[in-house]
Structure 1
């Protein structure tokens, strides 16, 4: 659900701000009271304490009817320690399904578990802890009335993502009204940029300076260039960017290597029938190899994957020469330094390219690395080598930067002065066919459907700045006007059915006073400053302002 309505001022009785970072591989939240503004990261998770994030993993019962475990508790355990009759239904990496990546690259989900349901189930479990923390710290706080939630989304996700997230949070009982304004959104790199504000003095940043934030997550890499303005306000200097090349893609390279050893058929069947063992194998690879890899061969400890111990079910699907070779090696696969480096390099190269594009657009004095994958020593080393002219810094709590920055943004939403539009927005219009229009598009009523541009990609917009267009009815007798809103990654467009065009949604406006004929103008205004798009329609004849809520056509 996206609210197309006027956003009122935040109620005075907001007492607590909670920042929620739903990550691809790890998730977390932070919170603060508006009186003290001291940001607290949650470190108390089921199954483990002392860490600021928990795995984005769920385990369902046999029929996928109920969530039985989540987070650390849901991580697959060593196969030899499981009860043989128990086969947990593990679901993870479901956030990938919200992104615009090829279908074949999205992890398989059980047929009866949609990405939306998994997100809702996970947020419901996290929400129980959030409510408990708020109540314990500030007894008597009315959660739905006195708590402002700030949810983060990746920079490269479409507008649909915020709609899906809002509905999931409603169904997870984190909000009691899908249209509440106590839920706000910000992008992950923007939250990270706000988090880094506390480090300005240490790195000599002053008014007018620009800095790059690189959020290295598990699934996505998000980048934004921010400019420090007067009164500790931030402006967005270039269009934020991102791609699907986070830490989990190193895991995918590892699995591709393993597929070369055991065969594609064996891996496909193993993935489908024994996902929990696959998950455990990846978990072991991350703990023993991925997080320890520095890029220095002298510091590398050779890793041996013991198939019989780590993923015994895989053996039964291996055949032919692959089986002969593995039996000769007693089902152990040795992985050396160069092989592990080959897992990292394709991913790191994409990240370096993304950084290079941003730095070519804007000169920055400092680059901040945040996110779980930013703690990779090899990634840090490669970035520092490639961009030696830019100071590379890692702020405190890099893995918790998104949630903490979201809280800071929620405490002072005026910290963001402007943003750069990532999409081109417009509305469908139905003017009379004119010479030069494509004849094939001429309709029986002598009109043609077109895209009327209202705000162009790359434009720098002030918070709550409005873009307006005035429309007239096509028929003097019509009693209403239907606005259909679209957005595209292109800077310009002519028609609403062009490739890369997405429908944002539609809403209806009443047009009484038919005696006035065509002289009944309606001004449509779009406001982008609050992250969620606001649409306002004003009937200039009657003075009536139309406010409406509708579901997106996803």
Structure 2
């Protein structure tokens, strides 16, 4: 079982917002939090300390050792490529989404870099978190030199729409990065942002988040769009009204669309060759687009610098930009003059169409279920995009749309506040139905013959979904528990498979949409007995992660180690 969080509050809470495109961190001291919860230090981590976030990019040497992170990793790798010295080095960026893309996450899963080198994903994530942890620790010790590792409670942020396996993967990566299990919490990104936004609004005027206020929070990051709905209780704490929803509709989708645009303008082979042989120039184009993406307005013509290497690649192909776009939708809308490319606003706007459609459609579906919601909070780096802001305001013109001045820091600052006071989230709405497979007495009138088995002297129906807790149920952190008794033989250990589905009324564990997502692993301390022993398992729901404990039903002093395992 995952170690319980230490009861004594730590001197410092430090949060790491591990993002798809950018990462950042923040912290606050307990004595400051008690006086002013918003006194949070978000350290300057970009170039020359001038930015609050850094690229989630990591570089390893040819012998597999960690070399660098953030801009250092990007710049070093670009220079290695420019000098044809990059062979054997491993460069990874935007790898967080691998945990969203995988249906079943394996502890031994691998990441592949642009040279087709493979490296254990756990190692890549752990080294990235370790770098962020050490940088943050240095920042804290600059303020208070005698702070020890044991004085800090750490918080890692994760998307609310991630499943249990992805959360467990991040926790284990944090452990491998040197963060003790009992000093680590996972915070759901939109929840953290909601905590922060409510706090800053209350401090300013108190009008937006009176008790009873219902609001939808849309967390738009590089990889995902995370959508939650909360209500403010009389105490000022938050209750989640429906399970988190969303999808892979972050800013990187627009980046992919931009790369496709470049391929259509210059030719796929030209762009492929350019990206492969001119990493530094290709990186400059990506950074240029990233900046313009945030501030771009639909009516503007956007100008990009065209590297000479890209011009040469196009010339070597025997084509010109004019020939490539002649007769296409880009004719007259894309022009190149010397080292500048000018693209009409309508072309750039179209790059946002897919993510806009998905985000707004999902918001509409959520708001249909919650008609009393009048306030929309938008946070995350992608929410700074003028195109996205206008699209949301137009689609929901009767709602109050709030975008905090520090929208991209709302998650990490809220995570610090959550680390100090997890009880600010009173309850959550469960996104899945959980249960186990059991066999019951066979009944010809309701059970299919295909599931009939003869066992223990009786005909039984197997694969029945015994529900522990249903999707949509309101669960309270630390209080909502489910108990289940199973028989364990004299073996040293036993596994109970856990099934999950979106359905509220599953019948069999092999119904459509049902899947085995993990197991409860039991380790028996007394293996001398040769009799079947009932084991009482208590599962806790409502926190950001599921937890479990077990005891022998007839001998509670005989310990049984139990833990969820959602990694395959």
Q: Is the 8 A contact 1:26 1:56 kept in 2?
A: yes
Corresponding position of 1:539: 552
Q: Secondary structure at the match of 1:223?
A: strand
Corresponding position of 1:349: 357
In 2, the alpha carbon distance for the partners of 1:481 and 1:496 equals 20
Query: Cα distance 1:308–1:156, how it changes in 2: closer, same or farther (>3 A)?
Result: same
> Does the alignment pair 1:140 with 2:150?
no
Match of 1:291 among 290, 294, 308: 294
Deviation at 1:192, TM superposition (A): 0.5
Name the count of aligned residue pairs: 535
Q: Is the 8 A contact 2:25 2:43 kept in 1?
A: no
- Structure 1 stretch displaced more, 128-137 or 107-116: 107-116
Deviations 1:479-529 (A, max 9, x none): 9753222323333434444554142223126497999977x5443222122
Query: Cα distance 1:236–1:47, how it changes in 2: closer, same or farther (>3 A)?
Result: same
Q: Secondary structure at the match of 2:230?
A: strand
> Does the alignment pair 1:210 with 2:214?
yes
Deviations 1:51-76 (A, max 9, x none): 22111112333x26233332122335
In 1, the alpha carbon distance for the partners of 2:103 and 2:288 equals 27
Corresponding position of 2:498: 485
Deviation at 1:160, TM superposition (A): 0.7
Question: Unpaired runs of 5+ in structure 1?
Answer: none
Deviation at 1:463, TM superposition (A): 1.6
Q: Is the 8 A contact 1:470 1:521 kept in 2?
A: no
Deviation at 1:547, TM superposition (A): 3.4
In 1, the alpha carbon distance for the partners of 2:553 and 2:102 equals 43
Match of 1:20 among 4, 8, 16: 16
Give the 5 Å matches for 1:297-446: 297=299, 300-304=300-304, 306-309=306-309, 311=310, 314-315=313-314, 318=317, 325=324, 334-362=342-370, 363-435=372-444, 436-443=446-453, 445=455
Corresponding position of 2:330: none
Deviations 1:70-106 (A, max 9, x none): 2122335998998534447542110110003699xx9
Query: Cα distance 1:332–1:89, how it changes in 2: closer, same or farther (>3 A)?
Result: farther
Q: Secondary structure at the match of 1:437?
A: coil
Query: Cα distance 1:141–1:81, how it changes in 2: closer, same or farther (>3 A)?
Result: closer
TM-score under structure 1 length normalisation: 0.86
> Does the alignment pair 1:464 with 2:478?
yes
In 1, the alpha carbon distance for the partners of 2:96 and 2:537 equals 34
Give the 5 Å matches for 1:178-193: 180-193=181-194
Query: Cα distance 1:515–1:283, how it changes in 2: closer, same or farther (>3 A)?
Result: closer
In 1, the alpha carbon distance for the partners of 2:126 and 2:529 equals 50
Query: Cα distance 1:396–1:46, how it changes in 2: closer, same or farther (>3 A)?
Result: closer
Corresponding position of 2:167: 162
- Structure 1 stretch displaced more, 159-168 or 63-72: 63-72
Give the 5 Å matches for 1:86-235: 86-87=85-86, 90-100=91-101, 109=113, 110-143=116-149, 145-173=150-178, 175-176=179-180, 180-198=181-199, 199-200=201-202, 201-235=205-239
In 1, the alpha carbon distance for the partners of 2:466 and 2:152 equals 39
In 2, the alpha carbon distance for the partners of 1:402 and 1:30 equals 10
Deviations 1:310-332 (A, max 9, x none): x4685488467879648996797
In 2, the alpha carbon distance for the partners of 1:412 and 1:128 equals 24
In 1, the alpha carbon distance for the partners of 2:120 and 2:500 equals 25
- Structure 1 stretch displaced more, 501-510 or 219-228: 501-510
TM-score under structure 2 length normalisation: 0.84
RMSD, matched Cα: 3.5
Q: Is the 8 A contact 1:507 1:550 kept in 2?
A: yes
Question: Unpaired runs of 5+ in structure 2?
Answer: 105-109, 327-334
Corresponding position of 1:504: 518
Query: Cα distance 1:429–1:318, how it changes in 2: closer, same or farther (>3 A)?
Result: farther
Deviations 1:219-245 (A, max 9, x none): 111111111002211100122111111
Deviation at 1:266, TM superposition (A): 4.4
